[in-house]
Amino acid sequence: MKPRLAGLRLTGPLSLYGGGFALAALVIDQASKLAVLHGVDFGDAGIVRILPFLDFVRAWNTGISYGLFSQGADGWWLLGGLKLAAAVLFWFWLARVDRRIEAAALGLLIGGALGNAIDRLAYGAVFDFVSLHAFGFYWYVFNLSDVAIVAGVGLLLYDSFLGGAAKLPS
């Protein structure tokens, strides 16, 4: 018998599969942040050139996407709580899926949300460090949780167009 909470299914046929993606995204994100935070000497410039199009910078995002709503000093706990709530809702969704691509996408969303929530709750801000640029154009500074979230959304969009073709074989 599967565990239930007030009629909500907590696990499903692909919970372990999606959970693996969540765990991988979370571990890779947190390990990369710790490695950069404690292992990279940013020096006086605050920037480390990795490749001609890639720099590591130290950026603390106290707001949400693109630094929006960063002026509130007490809202960091609310933003962290919202990320945790999103991860829980994605888990309930994951318990109901029957397609691997959807499970992988939700796992990436869960891992990404948890990675940024951990930063928010531990530091009061999300640590971003990847700076991509080319031909004078600089993309927003981001972290690997953001990559997992974007990949998860991309997979969900792909799955919505693919439809039932990616259904788990019976």
Active site (catalytic) residues: 128, 146
Burial tier of 70 (Cβ tally within 10 Å: 0-12, 13-18, 19+): middle
CA atoms within 13 A on the CB side of 42: 14
Report the alpha-carbon distance of residue 86 to residue 102 in Å, rounded. 16
Would you call 52 helix, strand, or coil by DSSP?
A: coil
Any long-range contacts for 70-77 (C-beta under 8 Å, 24+ apart)?
76/120, 76/124, 76/125, 77/120, 77/121
C-beta separation of 48 from 40 below 8 A: yes
